[in-house]
Amino acid sequence: MERSITQATTPDGAANLNDRDPNPSAEYAGLGARRGKHPIFWGIALVLLCLVVYGASQPNRGNVYLHFVLQAQAWLDGETSIQTPGYQDVMPLGTTPDGTSCVATGDNSDCTPNGQGIIPFPPMPAIVLLPFVALWHAATNQQLLASMFAAVDVGIAYWMLGYLPIHPRLRGLTALFLAFGTVLWYAAAIGSTWFFAHVVAVAALLLSVGLALSADRDATEPRPLREATSAFTHLRWPGGWPSFVLTLAAAALTGLLFHLAGSGSTPMTLVAVGVALGLVGTALAVAVARRPGVLGPFLVALAVVGGLPALIIGGSQSMLSLAVAEGCLVAIGIALLWLLRPHGARQKRLADSLLASASSVEARQVAAGILFGLAVSARLTIIFGFPFFILVGGGSSWLRRGMLAGCGAAVVVVALLVYTYAATGQLFNPAYQYQYAVETGYGVFAYNPDWSITDVRYIPQNLMIMLFQTPKVLPTIRSIYPDNVAGAALCTVGQARGLFNPNCPLMMPDAIGTSILLTSPAFLLAPLAWRPLRHLRVDRVTVGATIAVLAIATVNLMHFSQGWVQFGYRFSNDFVPFALLLVALGASRLNRLWPVVLLIAVSIVVNFWGTTWGVALGW
């Protein structure tokens, strides 16, 4: 059976997959011992290394596009629309002669612009920035925060990889690959709107995947195909009749939500339905888990994602709101102190019971679902990676795992839909369609206005960007547009070309993007995670991660735009936490260390080159 959990090693230091302890519990005890040997030290060292490198990569700390800073400031000012900043990706609003709101486009003469606009991006990155904007307002340095949060992403990845049965050195190498061998480095160095959203989404998704792995210790165990497929043929509804009735209620409320949105109901009506859906979803999770401890993740999510922003926004509106916010914080502090004080034997047993219930595998699966929902509220296409949590996580069966994670994710996604409706009047942000119309009007991209914003017909041309787009070699024109439209001439007579010479480069990135295989060749290790299939065996992590990567990548490829003015392929950040699992397992199952080191080293060199160029070009 192919695993790398044993202590035996080959001459190159990789774990020998053929010599394994017949006692699985002993293997996992060994894994726990290795994970427990200075993991905090190495995790902190990785974060500090990333802070230094990411910080040195962008010395000018520039902030060009600040959509999320403006959105956070708008909330503090009691608005959902932002002050129009004068740059792209903002749908301008206006008013008609009768006072109704409208979209201020050039062909709508009856709409007078009012200086407000709507951004097409989900709100989670702006929520993350809210405390910083409350302190520093427009002076908030989004680029610096992107570098700091991206460094934390790497630390979270190192923690997550600790739940895989791989050699400790592969754990560190894979985390280094994420840090410096993928376009996360470029996202950290640039830190503008689109890249900051990726940094936030990666953090939430890594935490989500890590919690699911922690609740499912045998998910990486290759099992016979017959055994793996038989799990889907035995259907037993978890939670009995109560959960079945609650599922029907949730389906009915979801239908009502969409019906009310389509009929133009008031935002408060949708808020009421959304709250009811959240309560039903929470009750469903309790019914499926049969443990009240699963309420813990919902309460934490409500406090952090709902309560804290509400306190910050309320505190900015009036002194009374600020006093109430401070009073709530003091009350929370007193409650925590009371919980931490010494208790009698009975109270201690009760506290231990509550703690065990709150940290159960079911509670962790619910928490994984909530964090997955938060990742979706930063990057929408991540939602297509949900099948991973049906296959991996706490719950003992695929249906139970999926329902627990689904309840957690649904609460966040419903909140996202309700907020979008309140801010825009539609469940799905109309600013996306507006931006599509704007970019098709440029006339330089291969966009078709007769196709939808997400269309399967875009896949062939976008697949070429994702897998085969190359840098510009010996360029004579510098331009961010295809076919060098509106570009400046390079290399005047007598100039020698250089690797980092912006006036006469030997090679420079293409603003449309660069092949993921060129920028991060260590991704080629991912298919090796399927090596157990040679013996008709498969593990759930490999299957789930592969489905998630392919699903997210396919939907991204259907999108009209694949990113622009970028090094590499930034959409790969949407699935990189899942791909990282495949890379780590593939590297382990390769059973040779030197190819892993070589591929990761090449990835790091290429990303150093690309990040340096992106900063030099002012991208």
Residue 102's DSSP bridge partners are 94
What pLDDT was estimated at residue 37? 58
Q: Averaged over 272-301, what is the pLDDT?
A: 91
Say whether pLDDT at 25 is over 50: no
Say whether pLDDT at 11 is over 80: no
Confidence label for 9 from pLDDT (cuts 50, 70 and 90): very low
Say whether pLDDT at 603 is over 90: yes
Contact call for residues 157 and 175 (beta carbons, < 8 A): yes
Confidence label for 301 from pLDDT (cuts 50, 70 and 90): confident
Say whether pLDDT at 508 is over 90: yes
Say whether pLDDT at 336 is over 70: no
Q: Which of 31-35, 468-472, 479-483 has the highest mean pLDDT?
A: 468-472
Say whether pLDDT at 498 is over 50: yes
User: 215-218 long-range contacts, Cβ below 8 Å, gap at least 24?
Assistant: 215/361, 215/362, 215/364, 215/365, 215/368, 215/393, 215/394, 215/395, 216/361, 216/392, 216/393, 216/394, 216/401, 216/540, 217/28, 217/163, 218/24
Contact call for residues 286 and 295 (beta carbons, < 8 A): yes
Cα of 256 vs its chain's centroid, Å: 29
Q: Averaged over 116-141, what is the pLDDT?
A: 94
**529 to each of 71, 544, 561, 572, 574, how far by Cα in Å?**
42, 12, 31, 19, 20
Element (H, E) at 49: helix 39-57
Of 325 and 444, which is predicted with more confidence? 444
Q: Count how many Cα atoms sit within 13 Å of the Cα of residue 23 in the half-sphere of its side chain.
A: 4
3-state secondary structure of 559: strand
CA dist 295 and 455 (Å) reads 40
What pLDDT was estimated at residue 154? 98
Give the tens place of pLDDT for each residue, 523-532.
999 999 999 9
Among 314-328, 475-489, 560-574, which stretch is predicted with the lowest mean pLDDT? 314-328
What percentage of the chain has pLDDT greater than the value 90?
65
Give the tens place of pLDDT for each residue, 191-226.
999 999 999 999 999 999 999 999 998 999 999 988
Among 1-5, 438-442, 574-578, which stretch is predicted with the lowest mean pLDDT? 1-5
Give the tens place of pLDDT for each residue, 394-428.
988 999 999 999 999 999 999 999 999 999 999 99
What pLDDT was estimated at residue 286? 93
3-state secondary structure of 20: coil
The amino acid that residue 601 corresponds to is: A
Residue 456: phi, psi to the nearest 5? -60, -25
pTM: 0.90
Q: Which of 268, 566, 540 is nearest to 421 (CA)?
A: 268
CB crowding 390-418: b at 16 or more within 10 Å, else e? bbbbbbeebbbbbbbbbbbbbbbbbbbbb
CA dist 539 and 350 (Å) reads 38
Contact call for residues 185 and 161 (beta carbons, < 8 A): no
What pLDDT was estimated at residue 26? 45
Contact call for residues 437 and 425 (beta carbons, < 8 A): no
Q: What is the mean pLDDT of the chain?
A: 88
Q: Strands 507-508, 223-224: parallel, antiparallel or unpaired by DSSP?
A: unpaired
CA dist 395 and 510 (Å) reads 46
Confidence label for 87 from pLDDT (cuts 50, 70 and 90): confident
CA dist 407 and 403 (Å) reads 6
Q: Averaged over 509-522, what is the pLDDT?
A: 96
Q: 208 is written with which tokens?
A: 């989500």
Give the tens place of pLDDT for each residue, 349-374.
555 555 666 678 999 999 999 999 99
Q: Which of 461, 580, 539, 598 is nearest to 1 (CA)?
A: 539
What pLDDT was estimated at residue 18? 36
Q: Count how many Cα atoms sit within 13 Å of the Cα of residue 334 in the half-sphere of its side chain.
A: 6
Contact call for residues 472 and 567 (beta carbons, < 8 A): no
The answer for residues whose C-beta is within 8 angstroms of residue 63's C-beta and 6 or more apart is 69, 141, 142, 143, 191, 192
Confidence label for 339 from pLDDT (cuts 50, 70 and 90): low
Contact call for residues 470 and 515 (beta carbons, < 8 A): yes
CA dist 387 and 372 (Å) reads 11
Q: Which of 562, 615, 596 is nearest to 59 (CA)?
A: 615
What pLDDT was estimated at residue 3? 41
Q: Which of 47-61, 356-370, 487-501, 514-528 has the highest mean pLDDT?
A: 514-528
CA dist 545 and 448 (Å) reads 33
Give the tens place of pLDDT for each residue, 150-182.
999 999 999 999 999 999 999 999 999 999 999
Q: Which of 401, 387, 373, 398 is nearest to 289 (CA)?
A: 401
Among 63-67, 375-379, 574-578, which stretch is predicted with the lowest mean pLDDT? 63-67
What pLDDT was estimated at residue 352? 58
Give the tens place of pLDDT for each residue, 237-260.
888 899 999 999 999 999 999 999
